[in-house]
Amino acid sequence: MTDHWEILDVYKALLAVAAGVILGLEREMKDKVAGLKTITIICLGATLFGILSYKVGGNNPTTIAAYVVSGVGFIGAGAIFKEGFSISGLTTAGIIWLSAAVGLAIGFGEFFLATTFMAASLIIIFITPFINKLFNTKKLTRQLVLVINKDDVAQKEIILDGLRKLGLLAEEKKITLKENALEIAAELILGEEKLKTVHHYLLNNKWIREFSF
């Protein structure tokens, strides 16, 4: 009986490596912060925790596994980055979380369950770009940073209102005083066809010293 379980544990380890490679390969191909190696190790580690929970957990074999769920959240959080108004890494964090769940399922011997959810996640990852193209609203979100003279602060609302009159949403997010200049950060939501119009408006506004868009 002992030999049987030891052999089964080896099968679980091999299956966990295969699952981690499959889930991590897509992230690796896109050069994400958590790639094949990281996700494979997470999946393998979660499988080991699942095996240990099952073997030494006593009457409550989920005790050790429960800590994996919360612990992997810290790893996933490290893959999320915020730059300006945009956030990246959420999909990678989700795959990290899923790889841990798949690893735990393998550790507990739920091979069919692990395979089903892993296949479902891969289908979502690969068909989402086609769905986005099919239902693309052609709306863009951009961060606009304007620099004007401090004495021209009254022009701030005039500039933003001018952008709104062009048919886009313009919401002020932050204003910073730097020496004799005001730096204004705003979020714009516009259609692709408005890009050139917005560029022309910003370039020809005499109150704007500089901008990034």
Question: How much is the pLDDT for 1?
Answer: 41
pLDDT at 3: 46
Query: What is d(CA 96, CA 23) in angstroms, rounded to the nearest whole number?
Result: 9
The answer to whether the beta carbons of residues 112 and 47 sit under 8 Å apart is no
Please tell me the distance from the alpha carbon of residue 157 to that of residue 41, in angstroms, as a whole number.
Answer: 52
* Contact (CB, 8 A) for 41 and 17: no
pLDDT of residue 112: 92
Structure confidence at residue 2 (pLDDT) = 46
> Residues with Cβ < 8 Å from 78, sequence gap 6 or more?
33
The C-alpha angle with vertex 211 and arms to 205 and 212, in degrees rounded to 5, equals 140
- Per-domain boundaries in the chain: 2-134, 139-212
Predicted confidence at residue 15, as pLDDT, reads 92
CA atoms of 213 and 211, how far apart (whole Å): 7
C-alpha–C-alpha distance, residues 91 and 12, integer Å: 26
Per-residue model confidence (pLDDT) at position 194: 78
pLDDT for the residue 146: 86
Task: Quote the pTM value.
Answer: 0.65
pLDDT per position as a tens digit, 18-69: 998 988 887 887 777 677 888 889 899 999 888 888 777 667 777 777 778 7
Rounded distance between C-alpha atoms, residue 30 and residue 37, angstroms: 14
Q: Which of 12, 21, 117 minimizes the C-alpha distance to 54?
A: 12
pLDDT (tens place) for every residue of the chain, 213 residues total: 444 557 888 889 999 999 989 888 878 877 776 778 888 898 999 998 888 887 776 677 777 777 787 788 777 777 777 665 566 778 888 888 889 899 999 988 889 999 999 899 888 888 887 776 776 556 777 788 888 888 888 888 888 888 888 888 888 888 888 878 888 888 887 777 777 888 888 888 888 888 887
| Burial grade of 72 (CB within 10 A; 0-12, 13-18, 19 or more) | buried
Nearest alpha-carbon partner for 148 in 185, 199, 197, 194: 185
Amino acid 144 reads L
Q: Does domain 139-212 have CATH number 3.30.70.60?
A: yes
